[in-house]
Amino acid sequence: MTARPRLRTIALALCSALLATTASVLPARAGTPAPVPTWEVRGPGDAPTAVVALDPADGHPTLAVRRDGRTVLEPSPVGLVTERADLSKGLSLIGRSERPVRERYTSTTGKSRVRVVRMTEARFRFRTATGARLDLVTRVAPDGVAYRYVLPRSQGDVLRETSAFTLPAGASALLGAYRSDNELPFRRYESAAAVPSGAYMMQSLFHTDGGWALIAESDVTGTYAGAHLTHSAGSATYGVSLADDAPVHTAGALTTPWRAVVTGDLATVTESTLVDDLAPASRIRDISWIRPGPALWTWLAGGKAAGQSLTAQEKYVDYAAERGWPYEVVDAGWYFEPDAWDVVDPDWQTDGWMPELVRYAAAKGVGIHVWLHYTLLTDPAEREKWLGTLEHWGVKGVKIDFMNSESQERMRWYDDVLRSTARHHLMVNFHGSTIPKGIQRTWPQVMSMEGVGGEEKRTNTAEQLASLPFTRNVIGSMDFTPGAFQRPERPDAGSDAGELGLTVLYESGIQNLSGTPESYDARPEARRFLEQLPARWEETRLLTGDPGRSAVLARRSPDHRWFIGGIFAGAARTADVPMRLGAGRWLVETLTDGPADLVRTAHTVRGGDTLQVPVRADGGFAALACRWYEGRTSCEGRA
């Protein structure tokens, strides 16, 4: 190619780029305000549209989300303020590029095993008058829109974000007040603008003109801090605040976490894997040692009184082995001195009962998970000592508790612990913690995280039970620990069928079943159902639901059976449940509340039929569905 054609090619490319960034700008009439330049980012298929705009008056950028011509988010502020620059205004666009994002990966936990990622990514390059740079990276997927900031050069510590989400008029809300352990309950508000002033969890759900919208974040590491929403009554805008309102310390270029809006109809939001899809790929090559599955967890049987001794724990191991559950979890107290909370050095346990319990359990085909207070793992040398010892004993996983912070310092601690547990082949369940935020894709040994007011709380309501499938559990695995039939204070105490349904309704890589052996033996139908729970799910479908009022989910096991769980807040009723399981005939065995025990009833239905299921007040049901054939009367069989 000669120099002249090459120059012509470069000139044409520059003209095309200029047209792409200015196509939405129309000349202003005399005496009218200058038009707002806007740029649309369209995703594949029927994805929503992100609309980035730059106000010509003061140079502040905004991002809006639309779907099918309707508004999901009004133009909402984006930007950062650092020690050296205000990157929320006075900006000019100096370039824009776009590329497709296509990925395929498998997940060890979650709503589905195989994930296919299709997104459009656009990068907007902004600059201030003094030369400070801010790149706004947006991604649009069929189930949502996300954006993050990239600072190509250090601008000092990040003081705050101006990121916010502005809801259209008439939007309603389902959200919970913020606390660093993410355990406060959700509440419905008919008006998002009328929500009281305060701090709220990021996983807030809104119903807008353009469909449902769940706020989330992804790829939060120690380079940044966790975040939550802040709101002033009377405003439709929800701002983003960093943990403890503390600066984020940086030393060089910075890429922030994703701010995301999971959006679509209710099924699209509930079944979404967008938060995982945005996260970095797995950092673990060999995942053969990572095996999810149900566990017998005995803490709610009486805490330390449940038996922190070899004799007591061997009985629990025996019971887990009889049920076919792959794990038993030994909670707090196993490494404490009797009648004290003084930590014993792990060397002491070399001659203690834990190594013997691990050997005993292994012979029965049961793996042991153990509880640890996070402070044991703050010092690098002590962390290596504890985790190395547990790996040497043959412990399969650790339940780490009481972090209770989303600060940058604590997120760095997560980074360190995740690397260490991966190296020592230990699966992880975080309690008193942040929520997953994509962590399970990057670190697949994370089986579950609390970040929820679970079964052990005494303040739950049926409304809370019906809120979680559409909020917290959309984000990632949730250790609610269902199955505590023995607890009279549970909100569905009048409905054993509802309690059983929670074991399917709530997804967790390690489903910690919190009932006592005696409570299961007294409910043989519940025990039979729990014995069939698979280790993981292949697919998830929302059958019906109304956030905060009802939820029915179906999850497909590897052997192609569908497990179904439903919960309903309010009066007793006959629930209409669409069988969105696929074409053909299905045998559906429902488990509902009877006069004395659960009642198992077989139904033959076609895919798409509506099944009527009786439920008690503040109760629910469980069900198992399999392909029907002549003569088949049961879906019995271990997945």
Residue listed under structure tokens 């996070």: 374
Which residues pair with residue 373 across a beta bridge?
A: 401
For the chain, how big is the Rg over CA atoms in Å?
26
Q: How many helices (H) and strands (E) does the chain have?
A: 13, 36
Out of 183, 401, 406, 450, the active site residue is 401
Conformation bin of residue 172: beta by default, left when phi > 0, alpha when psi is -120 to 50: beta
Q: How far, in Å, CA of 511 to CA of 296, rounded?
A: 9
Q: How far, in Å, CA of 611 to CA of 590, rounded?
A: 10
Residue 9, number of CB atoms within 10 A of its CB:
11
CB-CB contact of 533 with 598 (8 Å): no
Q: What are phi and psi of 499, to 5 degrees?
A: -65, -40
Q: Where are the beta strands (DSSP E) in 327-366?
A: 327-330
The three-state DSSP-derived secondary structure of 52-79 is: EEECCCCCCEEEEEEECCEEEEEEEECC
Amino acid at 464: Q
Conformation bin of residue 596: beta by default, left when phi > 0, alpha when psi is -120 to 50: alpha
Residue 55, Cβ density class (10 Å: 0-12 exposed, 13-18 middle, ≥19 buried) = middle
Question: Strand 295-297 relative to strand 327-330: parallel, antiparallel, unpaired?
Answer: parallel
The Cβ-side half-sphere exposure at 532, using a 13 Å CA radius, reads 25
Nearest alpha carbon to residue 279 among 436, 156, 174? 436
Question: Strand 427-430 relative to strand 91-106: parallel, antiparallel, unpaired?
Answer: unpaired
Out of 157, 456, 531, 609, the active site residue is 456
* H or E, element range at 125: strand 114-128
Question: Strand 427-430 relative to strand 198-200: parallel, antiparallel, unpaired?
Answer: unpaired
Side by side, which strands form the sheet with 620-627? 539-546, 550-556, 562-568, 620-627, 585-593, 598-606
CB-CB contact of 447 with 397 (8 Å): yes
Nearest alpha carbon to residue 138 among 261, 1, 36, 317? 261
Residue listed under structure tokens 């077989």: 602
Cα 15 to the center of its chain, rounded Å: 43
40 is catalytic: no
* H or E, element range at 314: helix 310-323
Query: Which two structure tokens, joined as six digits, stand for 603?
Result: 């139904």
Q: How far, in Å, CA of 265 to CA of 68, rounded?
A: 12
DSSP states of 602-618 as a string?
EEEEETT-EEEEEE-TT
DSSP states of 145-172 as a string?
EEEEEEESS--S-EEEE--EEEPPTT-E
328 is catalytic: no
- Dihedral sign for Cα 421, 424, 429, 430, please: negative
Catalytic residues: 401, 456
